[in-house]
């Protein structure tokens, strides 16, 4: 897979922290499911005439002859797990997940064979209000990360399965008249999945589609009304969008509303988040008919976008708050014990204790290089009175003050509360 995965970088951890706080604030709870699934799950859900199933899935037969694969996306696995554990029957659920996905495609910037997604899925709600909520969550994420000006929202109404069948027949008839001008993939899909031709990246094919039938002319009045209400909800909440009639998404389970968040700052890999409604998927996978809508975004692309934007808070690259070290003549175990005491008193504080001994000046140099804001210097135990330490600012001033161990926790809270 990838040689290096940036899962432990400060930027990655910052995005995870912001995302988790955000989805929880909207009432979503985390669900987990296996990396390994039956290949048939994705053939039934994504569609056999898709790039993922045709070219990209890592599939293999196990010793019992069962065909398995590494999950290429999260929605189908989430539905399978939720249905298997009885979370969807006559219930409304708001779920989210995160983890690695796998696709066998040519690695390039922003596209990897092992990549990580965060998915947010809602079940049991049929109205456009939940569609709007899913998009609002993504818009709130861009605001929290300072990326609102780096992305734009594109939406489309792809109608019901019956709507798309009627449109597909008209589109096929049109494309057959120009078959010689289509790219190879589009010719292959012409009869099996004509809507996927709309997603072609070939410039000649896209030029040809300018005169093709429009999907909007085939959607039912009910679907159109749902979509119109969604657009008004987005306007009411100040979410700007562009309608893209060629947006169909690359997965067969979508219906009605689909959307993508696009950036121009990552070259060819412009989609950073995408989703839509998929009301038939639960029944398609063996459950009871359940309306559903969701989204997913790729962590790797978001890391690249955030770092390219220059919008990272200064605190992101600071992985330590405090380092604890010893004056000459102080036993190493005193440093270790004091650091543990502070971690107990101040949970969540990032504290590193110096280990391995060494002269004080050497320890202090390492403290400055650690990126911590403060150093706690353990001095020799006085013959009388309370144990004292020095609290030193690890900046150009090098300001320090002597305080008792009993008052250290409060002193640290005050010092770290000051920018």
Phi and psi, residue 135, nearest 5°: -70, -35
Which secondary structure element, helix H or strand E, spans residue 400, and what is its range? strand 400-404
How far is residue 157's CA from residue 227's CA, in Å, rounded to a whole number? 7
Query: Can you state the percent helix, strand and coil of the chain, rounding each to 5?
Result: 40, 20, 35
Residues 6+ away with beta carbon under 8 Å from 314: none
Confirm or deny that 117 is annotated as ligand binding. yes
Confirm if 283 and 289 have CB atoms less than 8 A apart: yes
How far is residue 350's CA from residue 339's CA, in Å, rounded to a whole number? 10
Confirm or deny that 75 is annotated as ligand binding. yes
Q: Encoding tokens for residue 263?
A: 């950036």
Q: What is the DSSP letter of 116?
A: E
Please list, residue by residue across 194-225, b when 16 or more beta carbons sit within 10 angstroms of its beta carbon and e when fewer do: bbbbbbbeeeebeebbeebbebbebbeeebee
Q: Between β-strands 36-38 and 67-70, what pairing exists: parallel, antiparallel or unpaired?
A: antiparallel
Q: What is the DSSP letter of 405?
A: G
Residues 6+ away with beta carbon under 8 Å from 403: 388, 389, 390, 391, 411
Which secondary structure element, helix H or strand E, spans residue 36, and what is its range? strand 36-38
Confirm if 56 and 69 have CB atoms less than 8 A apart: no
Q: Encoding tokens for residue 364?
A: 């202090």
Confirm or deny that 19 is annotated as ligand binding. no
110: nearest Cα among 250, 265, 261, 249: 265
Helix (H, G, I), strand (E, B) or coil at 291: coil
Confirm or deny that 249 is annotated as ligand binding. yes
Full 3-state SS string of 230-279: HHHHHHHCCCCCEECCCCCCCCCCCEEEEEEEECCCCCCCCEEEEEEECC
Phi and psi, residue 127, nearest 5°: -80, 165
Task: Provide the 10 A C-beta neighbour count for residue 244.
Answer: 15
Residues annotated in a binding site for L-histidine: 73-75, 103, 117, 121, 249, 253-254
Enumerate the known binding-site residues: 73-75, 103, 117, 121, 249, 253-254
């Amino acid at each position: 897979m990838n040689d290096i995965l940036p899962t432990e970088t400060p930027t990655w951890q910052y995005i995870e922290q912001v995302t988790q706080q955000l989805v929880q604030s909207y009432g979503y709870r985390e669900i987990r499911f296996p990396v390994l699934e039956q290949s048939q799950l994705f053939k039934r859900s994504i569609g056999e005439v898709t790039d993922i199933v045709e070219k990209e899935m890592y599939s293999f037969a196990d010793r019992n002859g069962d065909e398995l694969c590494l999950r290429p996306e999260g929605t189908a696995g989430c539905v399978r797990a939720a249905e298997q554990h009885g979370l969807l029957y006559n219930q409304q659920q708001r779920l989210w997940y995160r983890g690695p996905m796998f696709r066998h495609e040519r690695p390039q910037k922003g596209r990897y064979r092992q990549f990580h997604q965060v998915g947010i899925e809602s079940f049991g709600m049929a109205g456009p209000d939940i569609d709007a909520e899913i998009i609002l969550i993504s818009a709130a994420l861009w605001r929290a990360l300072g990326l609102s000006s780096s992305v734009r929202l594109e939406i489309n109404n792809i109608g019901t399965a019956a709507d798309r069948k009627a449109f597909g027949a008209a589109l096929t008839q049109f494309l057959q008249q120009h078959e010689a001008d289509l790219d190879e993939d589009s010719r292959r899909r012409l009869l099996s999945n004509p809507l996927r031709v709309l997603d072609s990246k070939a410039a000649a094919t896209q030029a040809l589609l300018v005169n093709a039938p429009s999907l909007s002319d085939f959607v039912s009045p009910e679907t159109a009304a749902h979509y119109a209400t969604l657009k008004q909800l987005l306007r009411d909440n100040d979410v700007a969008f562009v309608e893209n009639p060629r947006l169909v998404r690359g997965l067969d389970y979508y219906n009605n509303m689909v959307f993508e968040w696009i950036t121009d700052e990552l070259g060819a890999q412009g989609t950073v988040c995408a989703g839509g409604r998929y009301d038939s998927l639960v029944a398609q996978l063996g459950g009871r008919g359940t309306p559903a809508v969701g989204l997913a975004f790729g962590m790797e692309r978001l890391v690249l976008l955030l770092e390219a934007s220059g919008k990272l808070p200064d605190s992101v690259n600071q992985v330590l708050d405090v380092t604890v070290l010893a004056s000459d003549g102080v036993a190493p175990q005193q440093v270790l014990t004091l650091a543990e005491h502070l971690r107990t008193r101040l949970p969540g504080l990032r504290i590193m204790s110096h280990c391995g001994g060494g002269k004080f000046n050497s320890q202090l140099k390492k403290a400055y290089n650690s990126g911590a804001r403060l150093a706690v210097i353990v001095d020799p135990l006085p013959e009388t009175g309370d144990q004292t330490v020095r609290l030193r600012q690890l900046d150009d001033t090098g300001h320090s003050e002597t305080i008792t161990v009993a008052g250290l926790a409060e002193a640290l809270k005050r010092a770290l509360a000051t920018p």
